[in-house]
Structure 1
């Protein structure tokens, strides 16, 4: 009997995913709205597939995938997110995802991804092989983003959404000092001078 864990913090989106999965023959469906709930639910229910958003409260999606990989489980991860594939798809592949689907696509793409993954294949977006179509600023900033670690990128997202250092520290189980160090490092790596400019950078590159 096919089973899936849906990890998504928006109830309407969870309901939509459930409809898709039921239409594809999934009988056992489990839900989580926070990243820090995922591993425990996988241990209990052993789903065949995990439908995972990246922008989650608790623990961010990239960190969730690293934790799933460390579990050495047989379940496969389908990333279903609104975040730009050009910045996140390769990171997700490295973290162990079997598919990457944009929420802006037709639901047929989600169905195709789930069926591919259940059949033992992968499903990823074909990205442009060159950045000819991108402007000079976009190319330059994408290169800066590509050099960030997953943790740096996650902290950038939290900061850009307005989270305070202490809040980020509690969410990510880091010290306040460590988050402050990451914040300073991000402003240097991205050539910005303040948190306001970090947010502008993230918005301009569709990171939030």
Structure 2
């Protein structure tokens, strides 16, 4: 993961992000303040990571993510925004974002978030109950399922019925690589580490 597209309507923010990315040998191959242009640049430049704000013109960041994932983009997507309410975290995760960090933290989490995404993990810090101590909010099964996108939920139903990745790709008319990406993301969101755990989860929640 080397090539990055930055989508933010504040030039100063884009410059700050670019400087931080260059510190870890990542290359900014494109910048824009507009959501619709971000979609066009993604297909034109093929970035491996997109860093996107929510409040941007024409298409907001959530709509950008939804459109890109819906059209098969499988690269990393990190939301960097001033809107850090739990509602936005969950919404971004549900449409296919790989991570979510707040501008209120002065971009201090950027490197950690990128490292997590590069390693195949999601990065979604939850609310902090105290100023200096992170207290994760336990999620029940229903909460975790709500984090899944429509495509991820469809893949989950297929996996629960024992359908192989290659057969799911034919059924959904997408590549098996894309199915594997959805599978990886849904496993992360559901906090599952094996197919046995996935099977138990689907049986427990009548998802088969």
TM bucket normalised to smaller: 0.5 to 0.7
Residue 89 of structure 1 corresponds to which residue in structure 2?
Answer: 89
Residue 64 of structure 2 corresponds to which residue in structure 1?
Answer: 64
1:100 is the counterpart of 2:100: yes
**Backbone CA RMSD of aligned residues:** 1.6
Which of structure 1's runs of 4+ aligned residues deviate more than 3 A?
Answer: none
> TM-score by structure 1 length?
0.59
Secondary structure of the residue aligned to 2:65 is helix
Report how far residue 69 of structure 1 moved.
0.6
Task: Return the alpha-carbon distance in structure 2 between the equivalents of residues 83 and 32 of structure 1.
Answer: 19
> TM-score by structure 2 length?
0.59
1:48 is the counterpart of 2:45: no
Report how far residue 58 of structure 1 moved.
1.1
Report how far residue 128 of structure 1 moved.
6.3
Are the equivalent residues in 1 in contact too, given 2:84–2:101 (CA < 8 A)? no
Residue by residue over 1:3-50, the C-alpha shift from the partner in whole angstroms, topping out at 9 and shown as x without a partner, is 000000100000000011111111343101100111111111111110
Are the equivalent residues in 2 in contact too, given 1:8–1:52 (CA < 8 A)? yes
Are the equivalent residues in 1 in contact too, given 2:86–2:126 (CA < 8 A)? no
Residue by residue over 1:152-202, the C-alpha shift from the partner in whole angstroms, topping out at 9 and shown as x without a partner, is xxxxxxxxxxxxxxxxxxxxxxxxxxxxxxxxxxxxxxxxxxxxxxxxxxx
1:114-129 map, 5 Å? 114-127=114-127
Residue 178 of structure 1 corresponds to which residue in structure 2?
Answer: none
Are the equivalent residues in 2 in contact too, given 1:48–1:75 (CA < 8 A)? yes
Stretches of structure 2 that go unaligned for 5 or more consecutive residues are 130-208
